[in-house]
A and B are shown apart, each in its own frame.
Chain A
Amino acid sequence: ETGVTQSPTHLIKTRGQQVTLRCSSQSGHNTVSWYQQALGQGPQFIFQYYREEENGRGNFPPRFSGLQFPNYSSELNVNALELDDSALYLCASSLKAGATNEKLFFGSGTQLSVL
Chain B
Amino acid sequence: AQRVTQPEKLLSVFKGAPVELKCNYSYSGSPELFWYVQYSRQRLQLLLRHISRESIKGFTADLNKGETSFHLKKPFAQEEDSAMYYCALRGLNTGFQKLVFGTGTRLLVSP
CB within 8 Å of B: which residues of A?
A: 3-4, 31, 33, 35, 40-45, 48, 50, 55-56, 58, 90, 92, 94, 97-98, 100-109
Contacts and interface: CB of A to CB of B under 8 A. Distances in A.
Contacts of A102: 97
B51 A100 contact: yes
Interface string B79-111: 000000010100011111111111110000000
Given A35-B99, A101-B51, 8 more contacts: A4-B43, A42-B104, A43-B86, A48-B98, A58-B98, A98-B97, A106-B45, A109-B43
B46 interface: yes
Contacts of B4: 42
Contacts of A31: 97
Given A101-B51, A106-B44, A108-B43, A56 B94 contact: yes
Contact of A41 (B43, B92, B103): B103
Contacts of A43: 44, 86, 99, 101
12 contacts: A42-B86, A45-B100, A50-B96, A55-B95, A55-B96, A56-B98, A98-B93, A100-B32, A101-B32, A103-B49, A106-B43, A107-B43
A56 B95 contact: yes
B52 interface: yes
Interface residues on B, range: 20 to 34
B100 A98 contact: no
- Which A-B residue pairs are the 6 nearest by beta carbons? A42-B101, A56-B96, A98-B95, A106-B44, A101-B51, A45-B98
A104 B52 contact: no
B92 A100 contact: yes
B101 A44 contact: yes
Nearest to A6: B43
Contacts of B43: 3-4, 106-109
Contacts of A106: 43-45
Contacts of A109: 43
A48 B92 CA distance: 16
